[in-house]
Amino acid sequence: MRLSIRQATARDLDEVAGILREAARWLEERGMAMWRQDELASSRIAEDVRFGLFFLAECDGEAAGTVRFQLEDKLFWPDVAQDDSAFIHRLAVS
């Protein structure tokens, strides 16, 4: 098994969105709603992918997971020192 993690590109947009939607459905079926389906549409995450915030994990060349990694998050963590922090959002595996 070969695992690799790389920054997602525009051509990975549908795979990233698909993994997120799959994880959201799985959670929802178990009564743990995390994200609304409309939040995970390709059009809604395209800008984050374009800015290099999403990463894609691949197992033997197949998309297996995704995560949004950012070095600042003033929206959710405004009181945390932004200059020496990192934030992970939307971690999902297929």
Six-digit token string for 22 = 């799959």
Helix, strand or coil for residue 68?
Answer: strand
Number of Cβ within a 10 Å radius of residue 60 = 9
Can you give the pLDDT at residue 69? 97
Please tell me the total count of domains within the chain.
Answer: 1
Kindly report the backbone phi and psi dihedral angles of residue 5, in degrees, each rounded to the nearest multiple of 5, phi listed first.
-130, 130
Return the half-sphere exposure (C-beta side, CA atoms, 13 A cut-off) of residue 16: 32
16: containing domain:
3-93
Distances (CA, A) of 12 to 19, 54, 60, 80: 11, 10, 16, 31
CA distance linking residue 45 with residue 15, whole number of Å: 11
Q: Is the pTM of this model over 0.85?
A: yes
Residue range 2-53, pLDDT digits in tens: 999 999 999 999 999 999 999 999 999 999 988 887 889 999 999 999 999 9
CATH number for the domain that contains residue 31: 3.40.630.30
Report whether 55 contacts 6 (CB < 8 A).
Answer: yes
